[in-house]
Structure formats: structure tokens, C-alpha cells
């Protein structure tokens, strides 16, 4: 009888433990989330999220799926000291702060997918020095991979950057990823690939790089691909048929260059103007324009229009004054050209004339003082020059010994004796 009771008690405790794993944790679980002993799931069908999301000391997994927009920061996710896996997906994340993940000392897997993240959506050091082994930024809007973006990820083994808009990867962008074994670059906008993405003269023999779905160019030779020491790179590409098909007689790929990097333009109000920008490079650079407000000219309007790298501005206004930026970008890098536009109005002319009239007496006084100073300086220099000439003359006269003893001709006695009473000579 006692044995039956003991078995029943054990069975009851097992069932109650199993229920406790899936049961909500009551007031300790954030509104909009469901929690169990080791996991926290937020939003999903509820479409609501209370910030901050508060976890527990035992929680090792946090998933936020289809949540409303929010910013990932140190203040938005609390009390997850044991967190090992963080997933945020299908959520419009406004920004990822620099300190967003610094408190997750045990974080191993980080998935930020389908968030529409661009290069401006997170702090440049948001991922620096994290202990993670897997990082997925799949299905976002990344266009450029900065050389500082993944700095210090020494434990990272898998990096998924697939299905973004990546067209440029800076040199040494993956330099510190010494443990990297999988790099997924599928379905991006890459035109070239390069071993210069990694640490120079250092092979990564275990690495696999997937580049499927990229329209790689054949008009130039990819930087560093033909070197013997970079053979490991071509062998790591999957698929690598695009590399073997590259025309080896083609010129090397090159970063864009712009001839005139800065110039100023003055224009009258209500006139129309065209700003020109041209760049060279392989592959051919793509030109974009940024307004003084920092906004990119994406489509033509009645005021701004872009045509083959030219920015047309119709009927300029005073508010159009400022610095316009032309950005030339290809897979090898970017370069900018600056144009400062100054819009001149009639009121500007009146102000300038009044100011110049007010300053006329001051300018005249300054001019008189300048002339006096020049005259005094000329006099001083004249005296100094005369003294130097006089001194040189004296030295030259002394060294050439031009003093003759004229006394020998003047004081010579008469050698002819003249009588005291001379008598006239008789006439013959």
C-alpha cells in the first residue's frame, strides 16, 4: 500500500513539474510575453510588447517575433544573466544601441532577421567583442559592411549576411574573425569578391563562403584573387565557377575616382541649375546625390531630378543653399565630391553694400597706416644700405693700397745752381 502511494506521489510530482515548465510565471513574466523556466517568448499573436522585457536568472532563450517597433538597448532587455540565445525577427527595430548586448555574458547565438536593418540602424560598435558563435543578419537592408562592424568577434563561427543589399565590403571587414567557418553572402548586390576582406597573408583553410545569387562582374580581375597566397580564398567560394570564368586579360578592379572633389557655385534666386558629377572605376561606379539635409535624392520631383549622375534643380530657393554630396560607389569602395551652392538674392546685395560702406573709413585708415609703415621701412633699409656701401668702399680702398707718396715729387730740391746775381749773357 505504501509502495503504491509512493509511486503515485512521484507520478504527481513529475506531472506538476512538466506543467510548470509551460505555465506562465505570473507577475514575473512581462506583459505580452509567455514564459517558462528557461525561455521567454514575446508578441507573436498578441502584437503587443511592454518595454522593458524582464527575464529571470534561469532564462537561456529569448524570442521576440512580430513585435511592434522598438529600440534594442541595455534598458529594453532586463535581467537575462544566463541568456544564451536571442532571436528578434519580423519586427521593425528602430535602432540597436552600442550597449544593447553588453550584459549578456553567456550569449552564444544572436539572430536579428527580417528587421529591415540598414547601416544606419545600429551603432558601429553594437556587435564588437561579443562572445557569440553564431550571428545572423539575414533578410535585412544592409548595403555596406564596415571594417569596424564585426571587430573583436573572436569566437564567431557562423556569419549569415544573406538576402541583404550588400554591394560594398571594406578591406579587413572580417579580419578578426579567426574562427569563422561559414560566411553566407547569398543573394546580395556584390559585383566582386576579394581576399582583402580578411587579414592579409593569413589563410582561412576551414572557411566556406557562399556567394550564390550575386551578379559578379567579368569586366575586371578581382583584387588579390590571382595571387598564390590567396589560393585558399578561391577554394573556399561556393560556387566558385564565377571566379574561373573571369577574364584574366581584363584590367584589375579599382575603387572609384573623381576629378573635381570640391567646387563652389553662386546662382541667383529663381534660376535653374545642373550639378555635374562624373567618376571612373571598375566596376562602373553608381552615382547618388545627397541634399544639404542629408536626404538622398531617390526619385525625380518638380524641384529635384537626377539624370545620369547630374542633379537638376529648378527655380532654386534660398533654402537650397548648402553642401551637396555626390557619392560614387562600386564594389571596391566609395568616394565623394562636394558642391557648395550659394543662392544670391537682392537683399544679400544690399546688405553687402551697406556693410562695405560702413567699413570704408576703417579700410582707408588701415591703408594710410600701411603706407606709412612701408615708407619708414624703405628709409631704414636705405640708410642701412648706404652704410654698408660706405663700409665696403673703405675696406676695398685699404686692401688695394692706392695711397701714393706725392711728397717725393713736391719736396725734391733743385739740382741746378743759380747764381745770386745772374748776369745777362752777351750777345754774339
Residue 170 CA to its chain's centroid (Å): 10
For the chain, state the CA radius of gyration.
43
In this structure, are 272 and 188 located in the same domain?
no
pLDDT at position 10, please? 38
At 22, list the grid cell: 509551460
Domain count within the chain = 2
At 187, list the grid cell: 543573394
In this structure, are 259 and 225 located in the same domain?
no
146: domain CATH number?
A: 3.80.10.10
- 83 exposure class (CB count in 10 Å sphere: 0-12, 13-18, 19+): buried
DSSP of 73-89, one letter per residue?
A: -TTTEES-TT--EEEEE
Length of the chain in terms of residues written: 428
pLDDT at position 391, please? 84
Q: What is the pLDDT of residues 51-68, one digit of tens each?
A: 999 999 999 999 999 999
pLDDT at position 18, please? 38
pLDDT at position 426, please? 55
Question: Other C-beta atoms within 10 Å of 276: how many?
Answer: 13
Question: Other C-beta atoms within 10 Å of 285: how many?
Answer: 25
At 379, list the grid cell: 628709409
Name the one residue in this structure whose C-alpha cell is 521576440.
64
Last residue of a domain, one of 204, 228, 253: 253
Strands 158-160 and 144-145: unpaired
Last residue of a domain, one of 253, 286, 301: 253
Question: Other C-beta atoms within 10 Å of 80: how many?
Answer: 25
> In this structure, are residues 289 and 324 in contact, taking their beta carbons and an 8 Å threshold?
yes
Mapped to the 3 state alphabet, what secondary structure does 194-228 carry? CHHHCCCCCCCCCCEEECCCCCCCCCCECCCCCCH
Last residue of a domain, one of 298, 320, 349: 349
263: domain CATH number?
A: 2.60.40.10
Cα separation, 332 vs 191, in Å, equals 9
pLDDT at position 13, please? 40
Is 309 within a domain?
yes
pLDDT at position 350, please? 39
Is 334 within a domain?
yes
In this structure, are 245 and 287 located in the same domain?
no
Mapped to the 3 state alphabet, what secondary structure does 21-34 carry? HHCCCHHHCCCCEE
Q: Is residue 17 helix, strand or coil?
A: helix
In this structure, are 245 and 264 located in the same domain?
no
Is 427 within a domain?
no
Smallest CA-to-CA distance from 253 within 205, 192, 207 is with 192
Q: Is residue 266 helix, strand or coil?
A: strand
pLDDT at position 390, please? 84
- Answering whether pTM is above 0.75, one says no
Cα separation, 95 vs 121, in Å, equals 5
Q: What is the pLDDT of residues 239-287, one digit of tens each?
A: 876 565 556 678 889 999 998 889 899 999 999 999 999 999 998 999 9
At 229, list the grid cell: 597566397
In this structure, are 296 and 150 located in the same domain?
no
Q: What is the pLDDT of residues 149-162, one digit of tens each?
A: 999 999 999 999 99
In this structure, are 94 and 219 located in the same domain?
yes
In this structure, are 26 and 162 located in the same domain?
yes
Is 269 within a domain?
yes
| Structural domain span for residue 101 | 22-253
Mapped to the 3 state alphabet, what secondary structure does 351-394 carry? HHHHHHHHCHHHHHHHHHHHHHHHHHHHHHHHHHHHHHHHHHHH
Smallest CA-to-CA distance from 39 within 3, 72, 4, 86 is with 86
| Burial 115-131, CB ≥16 within 10 A → b, else e | bebebebbeeebbbebe
Cα separation, 192 vs 285, in Å, equals 13
Is 417 within a domain?
no
Is 195 within a domain?
yes
In this structure, are 289 and 214 located in the same domain?
no
Mean pLDDT per 10-residue section of the chain, whose length is 428 residues? 40 38 54 91 84 93 94 94 97 94 96 95 93 98 94 96 95 93 97 91 88 91 86 88 63 89 92 93 92 88 87 94 94 91 74 41 73 88 86 79 49 52 55
Name the one residue in this structure whose C-alpha cell is 508578441.
43
Helix (H) or strand (E) holding 58: none
In this structure, are 283 and 326 located in the same domain?
yes
pLDDT at position 5, please? 38
At 162, list the grid cell: 544573406
What Å distances lie between residue 243 and 237, 240, 277, CA to CA? 9, 5, 32
Is 74 within a domain?
yes
Q: What are phi and psi of 81, to 5 degrees?
A: -70, -20
Cα separation, 323 vs 319, in Å, equals 11
Q: What are phi and psi of 327, to 5 degrees?
A: -110, 120
In this structure, are 175 and 304 located in the same domain?
no
Q: Where are the alpha helices (DSSP H) in 272-359?
A: 346-358
In this structure, are 221 and 296 located in the same domain?
no
In this structure, are 109 and 161 located in the same domain?
yes
Is 128 within a domain?
yes
Amino acid at each position: 500500500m505504501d509502495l503504491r502511494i509512493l509511486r503515485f506521489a512521484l507520478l504527481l510530482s513529475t506531472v506538476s513539474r512538466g506543467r510548470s515548465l509551460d505555465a506562465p510565471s505570473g507577475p514575473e513574466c512581462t506583459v505580452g510575453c509567455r514564459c517558462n523556466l528557461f525561455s521567454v517568448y514575446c508578441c507573436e499573436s498578441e502584437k503587443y510588447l511592454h518595454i522593458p522585457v524582464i527575464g529571470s536568472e534561469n532564462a537561456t532563450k529569448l524570442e521576440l517575433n512580430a513585435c511592434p517597433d522598438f529600440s534594442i538597448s541595455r534598458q529594453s532587455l532586463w535581467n537575462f544573466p544566463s541568456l544564451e540565445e536571442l532571436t528578434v525577427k519580423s519586427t521593425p527595430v528602430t535602432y540597436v544601441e552600442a550597449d544593447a548586448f553588453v550584459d549578456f555574458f553567456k550569449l552564444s547565438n544572436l539572430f536579428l532577421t527580417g528587421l529591415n536593418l540598414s547601416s544606419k540602424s545600429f551603432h558601429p560598435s553594437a556587435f564588437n567583442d561579443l562572445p557569440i558563435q553564431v550571428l545572423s543578419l539575414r533578410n535585412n537592408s544592409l548595403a555596406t559592411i564596415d571594417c569596424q562592424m564585426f571587430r573583436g568577434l573572436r569566437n564567431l563561427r557562423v556569419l549569415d549576411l544573406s538576402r541583404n543589399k550588400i554591394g560594398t565590403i571594406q578591406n579587413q571587414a572580417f579580419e578578426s574573425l579567426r574562427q569563422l567557418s561559414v560566411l553566407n553572402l547569398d543573394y546580395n548586390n556584390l559585383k566582386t569578391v576579394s581576399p582583402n576582406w580578411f587579414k592579409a597573408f593569413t589563410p582561412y583553410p576551414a572557411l566556406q563562403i557562399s556567394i550564390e545569387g550575386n551578379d559578379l562582374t567579368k569586366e575586371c580581375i578581382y583584387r588579390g584573387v590571382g595571387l598564390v597566397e590567396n589560393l585558399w580564398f578561391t577554394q573556399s567560394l561556393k560556387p566558385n565557377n564565377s571566379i574561373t570564368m573571369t577574364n584574366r586579360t581584363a584590367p584589375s578592379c579599382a575603387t572609384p575616382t573623381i576629378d573635381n572633389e570640391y567646387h563652389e557655385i553662386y546662382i541667383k534666386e529663381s534660376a535653374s541649375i545642373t550639378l555635374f558629377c562624373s567618376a571612373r572605376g571598375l566596376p562602373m561606379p553608381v552615382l547618388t546625390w545627397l541634399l544639404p539635409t542629408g536626404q538622398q535624392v531617390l526619385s525625380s520631383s518638380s524641384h529635384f531630378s537626377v539624370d545620369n549622375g547630374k542633379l537638376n534643380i529648378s527655380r532654386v530657393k534660398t533654402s537650397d543653399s548648402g553642401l551637396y554630396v555626390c557619392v560614387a560607389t562600386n564594389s571596391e569602395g566609395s568616394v565623394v565630391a562636394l558642391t557648395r551652392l550659394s543662392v544670391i538674392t537682392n537683399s544679400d546685395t544690399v546688405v553687402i553694400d551697406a556693410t562695405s560702406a560702413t567699413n570704408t573709413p576703417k579700410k582707408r585708415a588701415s591703408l594710410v597706416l600701411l603706407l606709412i609703415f612701408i615708407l619708414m621701412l624703405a628709409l631704414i633699409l636705405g640708410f642701412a644700405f648706404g652704410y654698408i656701401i660706405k663700409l665696403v668702399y673703405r675696406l676695398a680702398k685699404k686692401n688695394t693700397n692706392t695711397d701714393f707718396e706725392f711728397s717725393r715729387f713736391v719736396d725734391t730740391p733743385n739740382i741746378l745752381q743759380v747764381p745770386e746775381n745772374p748776369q745777362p749773357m752777351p750777345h754774339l
